[in-house]
Each structure stands twice: as C-alpha cells, then as structure tokens.
Amino acid sequence: MAQAAESGKSDTKTPTSAGDETQPKSYSDLVSTLPARRGWVSLVQYQNYWLNPGRLQHIIPIKELYKPRADDIIVATYLKCGTTWLKALAFAITTRHAFAADAGDGGHPLLTVHPQEAVPHLEVHTPGQGLANIEKLPSPRLLGTHLPLSLLPPAVVSTCRVVYLCRQPKDVFVSLWHFVKGMRGGRSPVEMDAALSMFCEGVSPFGPVWEHYLEYWKESLARPEQVLFMRYEEMVSDPVRAVKTLADFFAVPFTEEEERAGVPEEIVRLCSFETLSGMENNRTGDLDCGDNTVIGKSTFFRKGKVGDWENHMTKEMGKKVDDVFQDKLKGSGLVF
C-alpha cells in the first residue's frame, strides 16, 4: 500500500494545464492506481492519508502551486473538530475593525454568510474558491484546510501563521458519523460499529486522525511562533480566553480599550453555536462543497457538545478508541 502511494507521488510531476498554473489537471489515471477502501465512505490512500478520490485532483497541486504569503493565516483542522466555529472566530477577530461584532440588522457578514463561505478552503474547488481564486485574493488572506501538514507546501510553517484545532477523538467520530449520514439523507451504508473499526484503522476522510494531529502537534512544539495548537474542549470551557489567544497569535491583539468595551465577549457571542445555528441563512439552503458535493448548511451545526459520544457509543466502543489513540500518540506528549 505504501509503495502504491509513493508511486503516486512521482506521477504528480506532470505539467499543469497551459495558461493557468493554478488550474488542476486530471489525476484520474493516478487515482485508479491507489489503494482504495469502501465502507461508510469511499476513499483512496495517497501518501499515507485516506482521501476523497474526487477531491484528490484539487489536493495534489496544492503542495506545489499554493504560494504562502507572510501575512497568510491558515486555520487547520481534522474534520468535525470545530472547523465552522474556528473559521467564524478567526474571521470576526481579523476583520473586527471593519465589521463590529455587535453590529445589528445584518451589519456583520457572519449574520448573512455561512462561516464555511467566509473563509475559503484550500482544497475546495467551487465557483469563487479554489487555488486560482485564492491567488487573486488581496493580503492578508484567511484560509482554511483539512489537509495534513505534509500535503501543504513546506514553506507554510516558516512563512505564515497556522492555528490548528483538535478534539477528543470519540466526539470526532460521533460527529463525523452523523455528518456523513446527514450528507446521505440520514442513511449510512454500514453500521456504526463497522465505521468505528475503519476509523480505528485510520481509514476515515483525511485520516489517520492521530497522524493528522501529530503532524501539527510536533510542528507547534518546534515552531510555537508559527503554529498554534489548540483543543476544542479548552475553547468551549473558556471561549473568551481562546479569542484573546487567537488575537495575540494573529498579531492583532485586543487593546485595553477593546477589552473594557467587551469586544472579545461580543465576538464570542456572535460566533456562538446558538447564534450561528439560529441564523436563517445557516438553517436553510445548501453549500456547494465542490466535486459534485452539496451539503445542507444546517448539517454543519449539530450539537457541538463536549462528551456527546457517551450518548451514541458503548463504553466498550469508547475504550477501543482510547486504546488506539493511547498507543498511536505514545511518547508524543499529546494525550486525550
């Protein structure tokens, strides 16, 4: 399997389409040679990670064609680790001088625009997004990604700021399970225990999850000024502190006057699960996520609760996840 993935790596050297270097060529021949797995989702293995075969053609070129800028900010997450919340917070923090968080009557973009649309994703290719459009964005750019660090350009961690948000793996699995079911109209091709077995093997979108976590964790230890590693549970327990931490890391700290005026608290309120999930714009309609994937906007807002796995998994299932992650993260200093 590893050999097949490596052979795929060499195949990506073929030139891109003439006229626009940011337009991905077809990688269908490469995809057909990669190890594949079917189950709760269909995936192929590329450079040790399991990825959506349709999206792979937009993922492979990123390492070569995305040109990090010194003032780029990247919000990176594994799936269902609080991506929508982190995008909203990062957007509200970095644009607060243009848009006041307490602006009423639709005055703030997040009151009318879904957070997933407010912050473009590097690997999502839709009208208005994708590498070609990202390269045209003025600086400073706020970008999102689910990609592991190894599939991004090496210059990312030495050039721009990266904030990574992780989450308790058991809650990640449950949230991902429901998200996939939501995309399929409430159905899944396999039972939860079968999906969990694949998850614990590392066979999940953008997985193995532990490798995804470890890549950013290790880089955060080596380059703390460039990579900020955060935990979802800690953000939930003290969101105001998290907002201040993010602002400091983004090099746009709150002034004393802003803190006295309660600006961090206003940002927390604006970006809260209750506020965002209650917006009509986020309750209805769909998001074009590229590669013939359309997801209902409300699907991105389920519960956001810490420890919700206990309502869906047995203790034995939870122990299975704990045992896997304890083994895979052993000696790294990262524990759950």
Residues 82-118: tens digit of each pLDDT: 998 999 999 999 999 888 776 555 578 888 887 878 8
The answer as to whether 261 is a domain residue is yes
> Residues 190-217: what's their mean pLDDT?
95
Packing angle of the helix pair 315-328, 169-183 (nearest 10 deg) = 110
Q: Does position 330 have pLDDT exceeding 50, yes or no?
A: yes
Q: How far is CA 309 from CA 66, 105, 159, 177, 196, in A?
A: 37, 37, 37, 11, 12
Q: How far apart are the first and last CA of the chain?
A: 29
**Nearest to 134, CA basis, from 84, 83, 68:** 68
Q: Does position 49 have pLDDT exceeding 60, yes or no?
A: yes
The answer as to whether 336 is a domain residue is no
- What pLDDT is recorded for position 57? 85
The answer as to whether 19 is a domain residue is no
- Tell me which residues are annotated as active site: 146
Question: Could you report the per-residue pLDDT of 223-282, keeping only the tens digit for each?
Answer: 999 999 999 999 999 999 999 999 999 999 999 999 999 999 999 999 987 887 767 676
179 band by pLDDT with thresholds 50, 70 and 90: confident
Strands 294-296 and 49-51: unpaired
The answer as to whether 15 is a domain residue is no
280-284: list long-range contacts, CB under 8 Å, 24+ apart. Answer: 281/111, 281/112, 281/113, 281/114, 282/114
- What pLDDT is recorded for position 128? 62
The answer as to whether 333 is a domain residue is no
Non-local CB neighbours of 16 within 8 Å, separated by 6+ positions? 22, 23, 24, 25, 61, 65
189 band by pLDDT with thresholds 50, 70 and 90: confident
Please give the tally of structural domains in the chain. Answer: 1
16 band by pLDDT with thresholds 50, 70 and 90: very low
**What range does the domain containing 194 cover?**
34-328
- What pLDDT is recorded for position 127? 65
The answer as to whether 246 is a domain residue is yes
The answer as to whether 22 is a domain residue is no
Question: For residue 107, what is the DSSP state?
Answer: T
Average pLDDT of the chain to the nearest whole number: 85
Supply the CATH number for residue 256's domain: 3.40.50.300
Non-local CB neighbours of 204 within 8 Å, separated by 6+ positions? 41, 43, 50, 79, 173, 176, 198
The answer as to whether 263 is a domain residue is yes
pTM of this prediction?
0.85
Q: Does position 155 have pLDDT exceeding 50, yes or no?
A: yes
